[in-house]
Structures are given as structure tokens and as C-alpha cells.
Structure 1
Amino acid sequence: MSTAVASRAENPPLTALASLDAEAFARDLQTLRTETEASVGPEDLAHGRKIERWGRACSLLGYATAWLAPNPLSAVLISLGNTARWTMMAHHVTHRGYDPVPGVPARLTNRHFATGWRRLLDWPDWIHPDAWRHEHNALHHGRTGETADPDLVEETTGFLRRSSMPLLVKYAIVAFFACTWKLTYYAPNTFLEWRRAERKRAGGPDEGETPPLITAFNPLNAEGRAFWATCLLPYAALRFVLLPALFAPLGAWAVFCVFANSVLAEVLTNLHSFAIIAPNHAGEDLYRFPDRARNRAEFCVRQVIGSVNYTTGSDSVDFVHGWLNYQIEHHLWPNLSMRQYQRLQPQVKAICEKHGVPYVQENVVRRVKKLVDIMVGKSSMRTLDARSS
């Protein structure tokens, strides 16, 4: 196949679902959800706190050894701690996964998590927590796989897919963004989407498309200045200035080592999160949708056929995957705890098999390969709209 964008003729609409009883499928899922709601209890909170401790322990051990010398072990531990605060804690808490748990502390509820000064404790990051709540929780989950989904890979990398540049150059561009994507994609994209929504909420006009991401990095405009002030400078100062400076009593070498390990950890965090997040809704065996679902039942079907799971099953496996290996269950019910996804996954898979709904689950390494093929234009996603289901 040439490096041009792969033809969709090779991935026709899913006509096999024409005979699917989507309402019956949705009813079975709703029955399972009702049973799950009745099982929410202290165990969910205890499990969430355990995973939080694992993440903080990684950060502590990473920095406890980071001053000795630039080394991959410290960087990996710091990176795992960073990823845990985002993909496991911020992700599930801001989705209100722990809000209904009896006795949950305020800091683990969406209303209080990473707000105000608690941002430095709960989730210090390039990404603004409120921007994440809007772009990810509202836009991405509300329009998963649709052309209007701000995180639809096939659309966000359209410039690369259509380019006639050599394939090797395309791979190099993908590698660059994989190493920097929290800074070069996620932080500015979530911020600009959030700011646009805030202006509209305040009575401003509908501005149409979100401004180009480069807008956020330009300090000569209001958006750029706000992005620098609320996202770039606070995180950079904390991660690459303040934390290394804390080791000054141990000497200049210690400060340099912590700085070097922090930089390496940032690259590893980007690579790790790219590998476990970006493939969630990309691949030639998954579906995208040019229109809105007609009803809740159809919406449920789309969440399954437009998402992919990785290897699942145990806390250690799930921790390494950032708990993003339950993407199908998460998109069906975003507001559940991490523990509940473990319990639900085999049952959801069985319901899908019962109704003939494709349930894709594959090793994350293979999914990264399929993601990259989409990004460089070697393959294309399948299409499904309301009229073909």
C-alpha cells in the first residue's frame, strides 16, 4: 500500500449490525449497571486509596533516588507517579467515580479534586483540571468517535495522513508528538476548548472551530498569556525548578541529577500515556461516526464498537495500563470506580457476545501499531452512521 491515506472502501460500514436488537442490548447493560450501583461500597474507596498510595510511592521512591545520578530507574518511578495521578486518580475522580461511595472524603470528589490550591497536591500537570473536565468529560465522552470528537485521532492527524512526505518522516513526526503530546497537544487542546466554552457560557457568540493549537503558545494574545500563566509556567516551575531546588543542600550535582531525571521522566510520561491513551479509539477494526446517535441504545452500541480494551484483570496489570485497559466499560459508564471496571469487564464482554456486538480486546503493543498506521495514513477506520445500523 502506498503512503497515501488508505481508502475507506477497504473498511465498509458495519452492515452486520442491521439485525441487532439494540434496545435488548441496552436493557441487558442497564440491568448490569443497576446491579453494580447496589454493590458500591467501602471496598471501592479502599481500593482507590490503595492505587493512589501506589502512585505516590512511585513518586517518593523516584525522587528519593533521583539526586544520586541521572538514571532510568528514578525517571521511570517518577513517570509512573505522574501517570497515576492523571489516568487513574484525576480521570476517575473527575468523572465522579467515587462521589456515590459512602464516606468518601471531599478531596476524592469531583467538586473538590484538584481545585484551587489542591491542584498542587492532587494533580499538578500541564493540563488545567477544569479544561480537562470540559474537553474530556463533556466533549470526548459526549461525542465519542464522531467527527466532532476533539480527540478523534483520524481527524486530529489529518494533516499528516494527507501529506505526501516520505513515510519515514511521518514516523519521525509521530515519535516527536509521542514524546511531547501532553504539552504539544493535550494541554493546549483542552485549554482552548474550555476557554471557548467559557466565553459562550458568558453570553458570547458561537465561535465555530477551536483556534489552532499554536494560539495557546503565543504570549502576544490573550489566550496565549492565559495558557502560559495557568498551565505552562506553574507546572514547569514546580517540576523543573522548585523540586530540583529542594535538593540544594546536597550540592549542585544533586540538583542537576534531579533536574535531569525530571526531564527524562517527563518524556517517559508522555510516551507511556500516549501508548495507553491514544490507541483507545483508533484502528482499522474500530468505527467512527459522522452523525449523532439517534437514541441511548444506539449510543451504547457505538461506545463498544468505537473503543478497545487491552489486557485486563489484576491491580498490577491495570496499574501499568493506567486503568485505561477498560475503555469499553468506561465509555458505557464513565462514572464508576476503578474496582467496578474490573468486576464488570467479563460480564460486559459476555453481553456483547450474546448480542453479536464486536468487542475488541488486544495487547496494547498491537494497538499502538494500529494507531500509528492510522496516524500516518496506512489504514483508515471503519464508518458507521445512524442510517446503516
Structure 2
Amino acid sequence: MPKSTADRPLSQPSPFAGIDLKAFAADVEALHRSLKSDLGQADLVHLRRMARWSRMLTVLGYAVAWIVPNPVAALLMGLGNMGRWTCVTHPVMHRGYDAVPGVPAHYTSKRFAMGWRRWLDWLDWLHPDAWAHEHNQLHHFQTGQQGDPDLVERNAWFIRHRRVPRPVKALIIVLVMMTWKLTYYAPNTFFALKQHRRIRAQTAAQARAHPLPAMGEVACLVIPGERVMLPVTAWGIEFWLRCVLPYGLVRFGLIPALFLPLGTWAWMAVLVNSLLAEVVANVVTFVTIAPNHTGDDLYRFDSGCRSRGEFYLQQCAGSVNYPGGTDVQDYLQGYLNYQIEHHVWPDLPLLKYRQAAPRLKAICRKHGVPYVEESVFRRFGRLWSIMMGDTSMRRAGALAVEPAARADLGKRIPA
């Protein structure tokens, strides 16, 4: 993968050298213990409300989708799609509700969207196993680092290139926004999982003789997932069979066909509205997700963490929050407006992030740790500037990686 100047490691001292990481970590973990001790029925009620809202929006969308292609149906269906992913699937697969007393088995990470439940819980372009590995492991372990598969500034190198005309850059960004779940996230997560399993299947002798590259080291033009986008290889065929066809046939084949008794016009209207809803879901999730770790006021890191304190610091300095505070505001932002809290404690229910935000913000202020909060629209403007190549992210000096520390951190990051 070609590297721009912004991708090259910097040999400079860390801008956080004066922070007492042990004291910072102690305060963060004390707050985490307090939040975990308060898990209860309110968290489960809140999750069910978010699940109900996502289903309700989808049903209401289909209720008017058969009449005529219209923006109301597309918006409702798209927001339902978004909510099912960000407000239900995301926290559940992070083990956010595993420890909640009385939680039903299908809302635990071991059962949700697994096996046949994928068709009921979360049928999407992304395969649940693949997204859990790429997002829960690679992204959360390496937020803002070169090994982070979702590092926008690096992935957008070809758009940022100074020789690309600005109208072309803008057009590419818009096309990515409209299609990114299928063209970026689904293939990239699937490739990450296949590569991970391939590496694990190697014997010690094979690994020494022919070491396989990790996700962040795979040679590619744009993203490693580009290798499976066409069904011309074994992995590519499997990607289409396990990711593209199941969702595509149900969403754009089976469901519109259910409206054929109302006439071919109703079938066509539902099909068109389903396609428009897919665009809505892609745009809304891109606008809320992509800016979470991107901006000229956020940090990238040249290496990993040596301690829990450094891990917490990197999550705070490399993430951003959006204002919220009510169920409606937070749902419309996919609860990604509490991204800092989520990255510090990925194993908490959604409601706890809202409760924790002002307390973590105070801890960061106390220790001089960055805590950025800005409207999602302003953050999208910063994202746009990064992708266009007008600005670049801040860089922190290299941090040595200690295997023992990484293993210790692994106890806190869901599989």
C-alpha cells in the first residue's frame, strides 16, 4: 500500500509525556468498576427500546414503501437499518450486555446473530464473525495505529493525493459514502477474518519459513478487502456466498416479492425504496462512524501501548464525541456520540456511556488528557478535509510495544 508523508513514523517525543498514566488509569478503572456494579434492569429495558425502535422504523417504512418510490419510506427503512447495527448489534457483540442480570441469551455475544440467528438478529452485507474480528479486535486494539484497518487518513491516500482533481475527489467521497458497507466494510472485514484464520492455521515451522502478513501489512492498492470483492478466487466466491448474496437476495429479492399480490407497481416501488434505503443507511452510518477517529485535532500513533494507562490515553486522544443526551438524539447518532467512552470501556451497555460521559470528561480534564466533543456536522467537515487532503491528523511519537502489556490489555477487549 503506498504511503504518504503523513503515514511515515515520526521520531519525536510523545506530546503526553507529562501525564501521570498510572493515576489516570486508576481513576478510569475506578469509574469502570462503579459503572459495572450498577448494571441492571434499566440497561436491558433501554436495549429493548432501541431494538423496538429499529424494528418499528423498518415496518413503518415498508408500510408506505409499496405506494410509490418516496423519501419517507427510504428514510424510515434506512434509519431502522442503521439502528439495528449501531444501537443493537454493536454493543451486544461487544459483550455489553453479557453481565446484565436477567439478559436473554439472544442478547449475549455468544448467541446474537450466530448461526441461524443471523437471519433474525442482523442480516447485513457484513458477516457477524468477520465484523466482530475486524472491529472488536483489530480496530479496538490498534485505534489510530498503522495496524488499525479503519484508519481513514491512510485508507484515503489515493483520494488525498495532490494530483487528483478536487471535483474527482469529492465525487469519490460521495460514492464511498453511498456504498461503503458493501464496497469497504463487508469485504475488508471478511478478508481480515480469513487472513487471521489462515495465520492461526499455520504450524510453527510454516510460520518461521513463510510468515504470513498481518492485516496491516497486506500489500494492496486501497484496502486488503479488495481481494475478495470479485468472485474469481476461493475467498471471493465465499465472500459472495456468505455476505453479498444472503443479504442481497432477501432485501432486494424476497421482501419486494412479498408485495407482488398488490401488483407489479407495488413490487417495483418497494424495490426502489429498498435501494434508496440502503443509500440512506450508508450515508447516515458513514457520517456518524467515519469522523469518530478522524480530524486534524485527533491523534494517530506510531506504535502500540506499554500499559493500560497508555491504552486509555490513546483511546481518548484518538476518538471524538458528539453532543447528545436523549434517546432520540443518541439513536439518530447510533450512540456513536459516546465513542470515547465506548473505546475506553467496550464492554458496557449503551445507557452506561451516557451516564459515564461527564464523569470521564472530568477525569480527562483532571489529568490533562484530550477529550474532544463537537457536533457531528462539524466533525464531518473535519473528516471531509482529511479525505480531501487539505489537513492531516496529529501524530504522537512512537511507543514501544511490550507483548506482556498487550496480553494484559487483551483481557479487556472483547473477542
TM bucket normalised to smaller? over 0.9
One of 224, 233, 253 as aligned partner of 2:236: 224
Give the aligned CA root-mean-square deviation in angstroms.
1.9
* Alignment partners' CA distance in 2, 1:331 and 1:177: 25
Runs (5+) with no aligned partner, structure 2: 401-415
Task: Assess, with a 3 A threshold, how the Cα gap between structure 1 residues 87 and 13 changes in structure 2: closer, same or farther.
Answer: farther
2:279 corresponds to: 267
2:411 corresponds to: none
Task: Assess, with a 3 A threshold, how the Cα gap between structure 1 residues 306 and 12 changes in structure 2: closer, same or farther.
Answer: farther
* Alignment partners' CA distance in 1, 2:161 and 2:11: 20
1:193 corresponds to: 192
1:376 corresponds to: 388
Query: What code does the residue aligned with 2:48 have?
Result: R
* Alignment partners' CA distance in 2, 1:313 and 1:282: 22
* Alignment partners' CA distance in 2, 1:7 and 1:230: 36
**Aligned-pair CA distance for 1:203:** 2.4
Q: Which moved more, 1:251-260 or 1:162-171?
A: 162-171
Q: How does 1:223-262 map to 2 (within 5 A)?
A: 223-262=235-274
Q: What is the SS of the residue equivalent to 1:17?
A: coil
Is 1:75–1:262's contact at 8 Å kept on the other side of the alignment? Answer: yes
Query: What code does the residue aligned with 2:158 have?
Result: F
Query: What code does the residue aligned with 1:306 have?
Result: G
Q: How does 1:285-364 map to 2 (within 5 A)?
A: 285-364=297-376
**Aligned-pair CA distance for 1:358:** 1.4
Query: What code does the residue aligned with 2:131 have?
Result: W
* Alignment partners' CA distance in 2, 1:64 and 1:18: 57
* Alignment partners' CA distance in 2, 1:384 and 1:214: 30
**Aligned-pair CA distance for 1:218:** 2.1
**Number of equivalences:** 383
Instruction: Detail structure 1 runs of 4+ shifted over 4 Å in the superposition.
Output: 5-8, 11-16
How high is the sequence identity, in percent, across the aligned residues?
Answer: 50
Query: What code does the residue aligned with 1:383 have?
Result: R
Query: What code does the residue aligned with 1:73 have?
Result: V
Is 1:6–1:377's contact at 8 Å kept on the other side of the alignment? Answer: no
* Alignment partners' CA distance in 2, 1:193 and 1:93: 21
2:212 corresponds to: 207
Is 2:123–2:247's contact at 8 Å kept on the other side of the alignment? Answer: yes
**TM (normalized to structure 2)?**
0.89
**TM (normalized to structure 1)?**
0.95
| CA deviation string 1:202-243 (max 9, x = no partner) | 226542134643321221210110011000111110100000
Is 2:138–2:148's contact at 8 Å kept on the other side of the alignment? Answer: yes
Is 1:127–1:190's contact at 8 Å kept on the other side of the alignment? Answer: yes
**Aligned-pair CA distance for 1:155:** 1.1
1:73 aligns with 2:85: no
Is 2:14–2:397's contact at 8 Å kept on the other side of the alignment? Answer: no
1:184 corresponds to: 183
| CA deviation string 1:27-52 (max 9, x = no partner) | 11111111111100111111100111
1:134 aligns with 2:133: yes
* Alignment partners' CA distance in 1, 2:90 and 2:46: 15
